Amino acid sequence: MHKILIPVDGSIHAMKALKVASDLATKYQGRLYILHILLRGKDASDLMELDISSQFDQHLQKLMNTAIVADLGPAPDKVLQRVGQIILDHFAERAAKQGAAFEVLPITSGSPADEILKTQQKIEAGTIVMGARGVTQSDLATFGSVSQEVFNRAQCTCISVK
């Protein structure tokens, strides 16, 4: 079975990448492995700008709005874990609706590119499908810094979705 790693961060590019990865998995009898790396360094306003923020429950939205007003800086890991779980749940639901076989991997933390590459090797994925850009704005013309690093270092097929 072909293994396809799909790192997700709640961005619109990740949502588009899931559609491409699901189509590949369905067509080639593959399995998706959905990965989320904590969005370390992001503050509440960054998290509320995620395309997935409409999925945040009332309590989380209130907490985020309070943090934005108070300008509390980067969100604590407890909040990032909750946001990460919402992201994974949403992407798993979308993969199921698209008919793809999938597995949700445990949330990780660390350098996103390093975590993606480490996971690819661990699960022996033959393909990584990811958004060209994530939640971090980049000065690079086409790719975000994480996707560019992954594509430069990966020992497998990589597909960028914009």
Q: Where are the domains of the chain?
A: 27-109, 111-162
Buried b (16+ CB within 10 A) or exposed e, 7-27: bbbbbbbbbebbebbbebbee
pLDDT band at 139; cut points 50, 70, 90:
very low
How high is the pLDDT of residue 1?
Answer: 75
Is-contact 100 32, C-beta < 8 A? yes
pLDDT 10s digits, 70-110: 888 899 999 999 999 999 999 999 999 999 999 999 999 99
Instruction: Judge if pTM exceeds 0.75.
Output: yes
What architecture is domain 111-162?
A: 3-Layer(aba) Sandwich (3.40)
pLDDT 10s digits, 16-67: 999 999 999 999 999 999 999 999 999 999 999 888 888 899 999 998 888 8
- How far apart (Å, rounded) are the C-alpha atoms in residues 61 and 52? 12
